[in-house]
Amino acid sequence: MNILAIESSCDETAAAVITAERKILSSVVLSQDEVHAPFGGVVPELASRQHLRSIGYIVAESLQRASLSTGDIDAFAVTQGPGLIGSLLVGLSFAKGLAYYYRKPLLGIDHLEAHMEAAFLENPDIHFPVLALLVSGGHTSLFLLKKRLRFKLLGRTRDDAAGEALDKIAKFLDLGYPGGPVIERLSAGGDSEKFAFALPRMKDGSLDFSFSGLKTAALRWIGETKMSNRHPELPDFLASFEAAVVRALLENLAEAVGRFRPVSLILCGGVARNKRLRTGFDELARASCLNAYIPAPQFCTDNAAMVAALAAERLRGKKKPPLSLDLDAYPRFSCARE
Ligand code: KG4
Ligand code: ZN
């Protein structure tokens, strides 16, 4: 069985083909970074227009690289949400058209669940219970997974996502877009203890995250030190800010480990490409004697292989998947499955 998946929730147009045994036959990702870079962030209207331009070509390319034609596809999958509504609708409508024409099932996939699924792509035998920390440009969330395809939201950001905070500070200093990788590059060799950042604390004992306080503190430092993209202490400043974001993420994860006693940890989402975060995550897992899984970098940022993999998992053992096209896009996360 071959599954073709489409992902267009934000600013990557992606398509992938995978077999029922989860062998990736192709995974094509077209980034829109160049379109959004002049604005220092994703412009929703430009994103959906760019998806419209690229989607046909990207799907064709994914089929060609898999050496298949559309008629060889047994099921289609598409990201339903959360994400930018216009961007989601482009992928969803395109996938509906394919499924309708070829009379094949279409599965709607949750973007956040797909990010977690990326960890299972290379490690199908992860032991449960699992705590998953999902860190991206749009989301920062902590999930508890008790078994396959079952997950509960434990905490989420109350304001900015971690990646968004990195992107905004990079934009403010005119460093380029997306900010996360630029900050990682420019902070190399910097002293991460030069600038002190107090970490946010939730007074109600929740496992929610907050990054707006760190962002405000960073803006204050920028004002006080006249920080700029040519300032000699820029690497120290960026290293300190990045380290504070990482500490905020990992302190919450450590708290959740104490409360929920998982067997394994997953780190996923675009910011999971970050070396400082990956290292800290591995150290935390080792200190707590837990298994740790991080997807390969190309499966951390948005891609369609993770969407296809989740569809394959959902179809496993099912004789006759539904042929319904009754799927709607949703902009916000809404579907924890316990
Ligand atoms: O998962 P993703 O591709 O899209 C969303 O679902 O949001 O994540 C994109 C985010 C951006 O904020 C980007 O700055 C961040 O991931 N990112 C990184 C790195 N690579 C991407 N942040 C820190 N270090 C990186 N190496
Ligand atoms: Zn994402």
Please give the residue that has the higher pLDDT: either 201 or 154: 154
Ligand 1 center to 270 CA (angstroms): 3
Q: What is the DSSP letter of 1?
A: -
Question: Do 233 and 143 share a structural domain?
Answer: yes
Residue 10 near ligand 1, beta carbon < 6 Å: yes
Residue 165 covered by a domain: yes
Q: Is the pLDDT of residue 153 over 70?
A: yes
Q: Is the pLDDT of residue 291 over 70?
A: yes
Which range marks the domain in which residue 245 is found?
126-297
Q: How far apart are CA 331 and CA 194, in angstroms?
A: 39
Q: Is the pLDDT of residue 336 over 80?
A: no
Question: Do 216 and 109 share a structural domain?
Answer: no
Residue 110 covered by a domain: yes
Q: How confident is the model at residue 335 (pLDDT cuts 50, 70, 90)?
A: low
Q: How many percent of the chain have pLDDT more than 90?
A: 90
Question: Do 283 and 150 share a structural domain?
Answer: yes
Residue 337 covered by a domain: no
Q: How far apart are CA 190 and CA 117, in angstroms?
A: 34
Residue 279 covered by a domain: yes
Low-confidence winner among 94-108, 175-189, 290-304, 313-327 (lowest mean pLDDT): 313-327
Pocket test for ligand 1, best of 31, 136, 279, 281 (most atoms within 8 A of CB): 136
Question: Do 156 and 81 share a structural domain?
Answer: no
Would residue 84 be called left, alpha or beta, if left means φ above 0 and alpha means ψ between -120 and 50 degrees?
beta
Q: What pLDDT is recorded for position 201?
A: 81
Residue 271 near ligand 1, beta carbon < 6 Å: yes
Q: Is the pLDDT of residue 334 over 80?
A: no
Residue 121 covered by a domain: no
Q: What pLDDT is recorded for position 271?
A: 98
Q: Is the pLDDT of residue 323 over 80?
A: no
Question: Do 239 and 150 share a structural domain?
Answer: yes
Residue 336 covered by a domain: no
Residue 178 near ligand 1, beta carbon < 6 Å: yes
Residue 322 covered by a domain: no
3-state percent helix, strand, coil for the chain, nearest multiple of 5? 45, 20, 35
Pocket test for ligand 1, best of 301, 302, 303, 306 (most atoms within 8 A of CB): 301
In CATH, what number is assigned to the domain containing residue 263?
A: 3.30.420.40
Question: Do 158 and 74 share a structural domain?
Answer: no
Q: How many domains does the chain have?
A: 2
Q: Is the pLDDT of residue 195 over 90?
A: yes
Question: Do 235 and 208 share a structural domain?
Answer: yes
Low-confidence winner among 37-41, 58-62, 174-178, 306-310 (lowest mean pLDDT): 37-41
Question: Do 306 and 244 share a structural domain?
Answer: no
Nearest to 207, CA basis, from 270, 266, 251 = 251
Pocket test for ligand 1, best of 166, 211, 298, 303 (most atoms within 8 A of CB): 166
Q: Is the pLDDT of residue 3 over 80?
A: yes
Q: How confident is the model at residue 239 (pLDDT cuts 50, 70, 90)?
A: very high
Residue 176 near ligand 1, beta carbon < 6 Å: no
Q: Is the pLDDT of residue 95 over 70?
A: yes
Question: Do 109 and 142 share a structural domain?
Answer: no
pLDDT digits (tens, 9 = 90+) for 63-82: 999 999 999 999 999 999 99
Backbone dihedral angles phi then psi of residue 25, each to the nearest 5 degrees: -90, -30
Q: How far apart are CA 79 and CA 98, in angstroms?
A: 14
Q: What pLDDT is recorded for position 169?
A: 97
Q: Is the pLDDT of residue 21 over 70?
A: yes
Q: Is the pLDDT of residue 130 over 90?
A: yes
Q: Are 7 and 303 in contact (CB under 8 A)?
A: yes
Q: How confident is the model at residue 333 (pLDDT cuts 50, 70, 90)?
A: confident
Question: Do 191 and 47 share a structural domain?
Answer: no
Question: Do 286 and 217 share a structural domain?
Answer: yes
Which ligand 1 atom lies nearest to the CA of residue 83?
6
Q: Which ligand gives the minimal distance to the CA of 167?
A: 1
Residue 324 covered by a domain: no
Q: Which ligand gives the minimal distance to the CA of 272?
A: 1
Q: What pLDDT is recorded for position 135?
A: 98
- Claim: this prediction has a pTM higher than 0.85: yes
Residue 301 near ligand 1, beta carbon < 6 Å: yes
CA dist list (Å): 7 to 26, 99, 102, 164, 222: 14, 15, 19, 20, 37
Cis peptide, bond prior to residue 82, ω within 30 of zero:
yes
Ligand 1 center to 79 CA (angstroms): 18
Give residue 225's Cα distance to chain centre.
Answer: 33
Nearest to 243, CA basis, from 188, 172, 173, 301 = 188
Q: Give the mean pLDDT of the chain.
A: 95
Amino acid making up residue 85: I
Which ligand 1 atom lies nearest to the CA of residue 115?
1
Question: Do 260 and 146 share a structural domain?
Answer: yes
Q: At what angle are helices 234-260 and 162-172 packed, to 10 degrees?
A: 170
